[in-house]
Amino acid sequence: MIGIISAMPEEINALLNELKEVTTTEKGKRTYYKGKLFNTDVVLVFSRWGKVASSATTTQLINDFNPSEIIFTGVAGAIFDELNIGDVVIGKRLFQHDLNAKPFYKKFEIPIIKKKSLKTQNSKKLKKATKQFFKNYNNFVNSSEALCFDITKPKLIVGDIASGDQFISSLKKIKRLNKVLPTTICVEMEGAAVAQVCFEYEIPFSIIRIISDKANDNAGIDFSKFSKSIASNYALGILKYYFKAQ
């Protein structure tokens, strides 16, 4: 059983449409969709935004469904010049950019476990699956919808991700993140929290982020539309090839 989490329902819409033999469980104001996706046993759930919501969802998912691994998928804002809208980031390490327990711990260090970041697993397999998805891109993403977001030559980068309970939408904040966490290339609101729960439960964790904006003062994209027409179909394509390699 593989757990798949997204922060918004639009981000897993295409996956839900493909899910077979569906049963649902309602807990903690979340709906957990259990079924088969490309002949693989999965449970899908959207966690809602933020570290607390995603942590609660992940903990419930682990305790109720005992997944062999968890994959988080959704959108993120780029804080790295080489990333463009429509690019894919496979997470390597996850940082909580708003965590500061000084003087008891170093800045960004997670209390008790004493780690500044948490590593993902299965990034090589996801990288291979993403490359296969790009080869068959037009089978999953409508070309006219891609052009609406100026997506022409999407690419993959494996890199570090920063998570925090705030929407990064200014150049000032980006410059700060570039300075204090120079290896991070995109920013979002859930990944590092899910990674911490998975670490403590000893569940393999990996993350796919689709770049929806540049996380700057010009970040005025329609996130709902992008998530439904682009990000959701990216997840569908990437996971199809990921599961085929199982």
What confidence tier does 244 reach under pLDDT thresholds 50, 70, 90?
A: confident
Is the pLDDT score of 219 beyond 60? no
d(CA 3, CA 118) in angstroms, rounded, equals: 19
- Whether residue 7 lies inside any domain: the answer is no
Residue 92 phi, psi dihedral angles, 5° rounding: -105, -55
Would residue 217 show up in a list of annotated catalytic residues for this protein? no
d(CA 16, CA 235) in angstroms, rounded, equals: 11
- Whether residue 25 lies inside any domain: the answer is no
- Whether residue 3 lies inside any domain: the answer is no
| Catalytic residue selected from 10, 11, 109, 190 | 11
- Whether residue 103 lies inside any domain: the answer is yes
pTM, whole model, 2 decimals? Answer: 0.95
Provide the residue type at 87 as one letter. Answer: D
| Beta strands in 82-155, from DSSP E residues, in sequence order | 88-96, 117-119
Is the pLDDT score of 190 beyond 60? yes
The 10s digit of each residue's pLDDT in 200-213 is 999 999 999 999 98
- Whether residue 16 lies inside any domain: the answer is no
- Whether residue 15 lies inside any domain: the answer is no
**Residue-level pLDDT at 230:** 94
Number of independent structural domains in the chain: 1
d(CA 33, CA 43) in angstroms, rounded, equals: 5
- Enclosing domain of residue 198: 74-244
d(CA 123, CA 127) in angstroms, rounded, equals: 6
Would residue 10 show up in a list of annotated catalytic residues for this protein? no
- Whether residue 32 lies inside any domain: the answer is no
What confidence tier does 223 reach under pLDDT thresholds 50, 70, 90?
A: confident
- CATH number, domain with residue 193: 3.40.50.1580
Asked if 30 and 36 count as a contact pair (C-beta separation under 8 A), the reply is no
- Whether residue 90 lies inside any domain: the answer is yes
| Catalytic residue selected from 165, 190, 213, 222 | 213
